[in-house]
Chain A
Amino acid sequence: MATETDAIDGGTGTTSAIQRFDEWLDEDVSPRRALAVYAALGVFMLFLLLPVLYMILATFTNQSFLYSSALLPSLSSLTLANYVNVLSTGAFQQYFVNSTIIATATTALTLSVGTLAAYSLSRFDYPGRGSLLLAFLGTQMLPYVLILIPFFLLMYTLDLINSHLGIIIAHSVIALPLAIWLLKGYFDDIPESLDEAAKMDGCSQLDVLARVILPLSLPGLAVAGFYTFTISWNDFLLVSVLSQTGATRTLPYGLQLFQSQNQVAWHLVLTAATITMVPVIVLFAAVQQWVVKGLASGGMKGT
């Protein structure tokens, strides 16, 4: 990075640290301003990330470290034993599989139903369109605890208690309104002239969706998919009501039971918690550029 500086300095060969820092920065940022920015950034990152990093560190230690008054473990005491222990626990494996099945199926269902709905809202003109969108978004305002009581009785009547399907449907519906809104934002950005051109070539309305709209809104699908997967993967409340045995229990609910039974086994509780958060963090890393951009434009346009 500092090689250009050397070239510029040529003869003297002594490039001060400040100068090199300045070279490294964008042209319109002064070193003093950049230092202030990094300092403020450091404070925020410490506040937001230190607890998470510390938890991850703790999962590589043993119980005796967690019950000592030391803040940092010695390097030689780090171990993978907790991961081996948790991952080989039958119940944990079962919950992991349940979570994966439920979150994946929820994402598939929400994206299919949501894409059709968003396409309808974005490209078709019919009475009630505006109020339908408002009604979908309005459901986000309803207190879950109010819905929960009749919802539980409804699912009981439909025999969907303690089944994967019941949880999948419930999670899909929770995620659907925002997924539709996100997708509609992306669809709206695609010029309608492309639709017209495709129709000239003999495409039907559904062909337009499959061949024009969907390929052009992959980032939108990724963001909506990530959002839906996370809603489902992270949910505790609905699963706690709908799941009654280990066969349908997901990780968050299992984790809650595990921590209340294992008040003292922090090394295992923290490890289980860390493994639980890994999939959503990996997914987030995969789509983060679109999430950040989507929040910046698509999500906030004021439809």
Chain B
Amino acid sequence: MATNTSQGRSPRYSEEFKSLLSETWLGYALILPATILVAAIILYPTVRGIQMAFLEVSLLQPGEETFVGLENFAEMANDAVFRTALWQTVLLTALAVSLQYLLGMALAMVLKEKVPGMRFFRSVSMVTWVLPIIVMVILFRFMVQNGFGPANIVLGALGLETTYWFGDPEMAFPLIVLMHVWRNVPFYAIALMAAMNSIPETQYEAARLDGAGALQRFRHVTLPQISYVSMIMIVLHVIFTFNNFEIVYLSTGGGPLGNTEVLATYVYKTAFETYALGYAASMGVVMLVIMLTFTAVYVKLEDTD
């Protein structure tokens, strides 16, 4: 901005300096409300939560805090429920995100085709992503309810076993994975489709001339050019799935027999049902550290590629 070298320098510089200064202040002023809100409602509680991880506090007497050092973290090592929840959270995240990515990729390749009516299908496929989670849960519970759920009517007609599948210790977890997949596949599909559409057709032509088959073209032309969007989608959804509370809590509450318990629901119950705020916070901190590590490593790997 201040690079002009015409006449009348000194008054001009001071003027520009002044206007630069006022611009800077106006810039800060404009972003201040958002910063204050986020600092007060997200950052302060996060810092406070990290601090609480080293305290013993009860929700019943939040004023009485005892510093216990690393005791909360040590407790996790002996807590079987915590270990199960941690394992199930990792498993759920890994399964849901990889299935979402594969199916999302498949749907993207369908949606990018230019056939009549496709614009309508692109939009309408996003409906599952817009639904409130509670509505999705009610829908799935209805589908698999004992006896007269449509899924069970079909299974029954085929002579297969029917039951309330969310209450089945073996099937509840796969159903949770299914809900995560059902909800988010369209989001992946639209984002991947957009990335695929931005690849110039000439590159495919060139590959074809070099004798590359469909599979090779996908591997060497498509994949490298959707890798950035893929990374964004995967990181976003790993974070979303890992931290998600509502899907499990509203559908199974963590049961049956704790078979669908994830960290988010266990932390919530520890805080708001057993009132052990310090212990709950320390598990929340573990979740945060895992997500920070994951994101840092993944972004780094993608960068070096």
Given contact pairs A149-B281, A300-B195, A26 touches B116 in the complex (Cβ within 8 A): yes
Q: What residues of chain B lie closer than 8 Å to A281, measured between beta carbons?
A: 127, 130-131
In-complex Cβ contact of A270 among B40, B48, B138 (8 A) = B138
Shortest distance from the beta carbon of A81 to any chain B beta carbon, whole Å: 18
Q: What residues of chain B lie closer than 8 Å to A117, measured between beta carbons?
A: 30-31, 33-35
Contact with A along B12-48 (1 / 0, CB 8 A): 0000000000011011101101110110111111101
Asked whether any CB of chain A lies closer than 8 Å to the CB of B52, the reply is yes
In-complex Cβ contact of B134 among A71, A149, A255, A266 (8 A) = A255
Cα–Cα, bound, A141→B236 (Å) = 8
Q: What residues of chain B lie closer than 8 Å to A205, measured between beta carbons?
A: 23, 26
Asked whether any CB of chain B lies closer than 8 Å to the CB of A280, the reply is yes
Asked whether any CB of chain B lies closer than 8 Å to the CB of A284, the reply is yes
Given contact pairs A173-B41, A252-B132, A148 touches B138 in the complex (Cβ within 8 A): no
Q: Flag if A176 contacts B23 (CB, 8 Å).
A: no
Q: Flag if B30 contacts A120 (CB, 8 Å).
A: yes
In-complex Cβ contact of B130 among A150, A180, A230, A255 (8 A) = A230
Q: Flag if B148 contacts A67 (CB, 8 Å).
A: yes
Q: Flag if B45 contacts A147 (CB, 8 Å).
A: yes
Q: Flag if A44 contacts B110 (CB, 8 Å).
A: yes
The residue on B at minimum CB distance from A54 is B150
Q: Flag if A269 contacts B281 (CB, 8 Å).
A: no
Q: Flag if B246 contacts A146 (CB, 8 Å).
A: no
Cα–Cα, bound, A242→B145 (Å) = 31
Shortest distance from the beta carbon of B282 to any chain A beta carbon, whole Å: 10
Question: Which chain B residues numbered 147 to 205 have a C-beta less than 8 Å away from chain A?
Answer: 147-148, 150, 153-154, 156, 182, 185-187, 190-191, 193-195, 197-198
Cα–Cα, bound, A173→B242 (Å) = 21
Cα–Cα, bound, A112→B202 (Å) = 44
Cα–Cα, bound, A173→B34 (Å) = 8
Q: Flag if A38 contacts B115 (CB, 8 Å).
A: yes
Q: Flag if A146 contacts B194 (CB, 8 Å).
A: no
Cα–Cα, bound, A134→B168 (Å) = 43
Q: What residues of chain A lie closer than 8 Å to B133, measured between beta carbons?
A: 234, 236, 252
Residue of B62, B156, B187 contacting most chain A CB atoms (<10 Å): B62
Asked whether any CB of chain B lies closer than 8 Å to the CB of A78, the reply is no
Shortest distance from the beta carbon of A49 to any chain B beta carbon, whole Å: 7
Q: Flag if A29 contacts B115 (CB, 8 Å).
A: yes
Cα–Cα, bound, A49→B187 (Å) = 14
Q: What residues of chain B lie closer than 8 Å to A225, measured between beta carbons?
A: none
Main secondary structure of the interface of A (DSSP, over half): helix
Cα–Cα, bound, A151→B38 (Å) = 12
Residue of B24, B28, B31 contacting most chain A CB atoms (<10 Å): B31
Residue of B30, B131, B139, B197 contacting most chain A CB atoms (<10 Å): B30
Q: What residues of chain A lie closer than 8 Å to B218, measured between beta carbons?
A: none
Main secondary structure of the interface of B (DSSP, over half): helix
Q: How many residues of A contact B (CB 8 A)?
A: 97
Q: Flag if B191 contacts A300 (CB, 8 Å).
A: yes
Asked whether any CB of chain A lies closer than 8 Å to the CB of B210, the reply is no
Q: Flag if B38 contacts A119 (CB, 8 Å).
A: no
In-complex Cβ contact of A170 among B35, B41, B124, B143 (8 A) = B41
Asked whether any CB of chain A lies closer than 8 Å to the CB of B212, the reply is no
Q: Flag if B280 contacts A149 (CB, 8 Å).
A: yes
In-complex Cβ contact of B27 among A126, A135, A274 (8 A) = A126
In-complex Cβ contact of A277 among B42, B131, B140, B154 (8 A) = B131
Cα–Cα, bound, A233→B130 (Å) = 10
Asked whether any CB of chain A lies closer than 8 Å to the CB of B86, the reply is no
Given contact pairs A173-B42, A302-B228, A119 touches B30 in the complex (Cβ within 8 A): yes
Q: Flag if A151 contacts B41 (CB, 8 Å).
A: yes
Shortest distance from the beta carbon of A235 to any chain B beta carbon, whole Å: 8
Question: Which chain A residues numbered 12 to 34 have a C-beta less than 8 Å away from chain B?
Answer: 24-26, 28-29, 33-34
Asked whether any CB of chain A lies closer than 8 Å to the CB of B239, the reply is yes
Q: Flag if B38 contacts A176 (CB, 8 Å).
A: yes
Asked whether any CB of chain B lies closer than 8 Å to the CB of A154, the reply is yes
In-complex Cβ contact of A147 among B46, B142, B147 (8 A) = B46
Contact with B along A82-121 (1 / 0, CB 8 A): 0000000000000000000000000000000110110111
Asked whether any CB of chain A lies closer than 8 Å to the CB of B128, the reply is yes
In-complex Cβ contact of B31 among A66, A132, A280, A297 (8 A) = A132
The residue on A at minimum CB distance from B23 is A124
Q: What residues of chain A lie closer than 8 Å to B34, measured between beta carbons?
A: 113-114, 116-117, 136, 176, 180
25 residue pairs from A and B, CB less than 8 Å apart: A25-B116, A52-B127, A52-B128, A52-B139, A55-B139, A69-B156, A71-B154, A117-B31, A129-B27, A146-B281, A149-B277, A154-B45, A177-B38, A234-B131, A236-B134, A270-B142, A276-B134, A277-B132, A288-B123, A296-B190, A296-B194, A296-B198, A297-B194, A300-B232, A302-B228
Q: Nearest 10 pairs between A and B by C-beta?
A: A146-B284, A124-B27, A296-B194, A120-B30, A150-B48, A117-B34, A234-B132, A150-B45, A173-B41, A120-B31
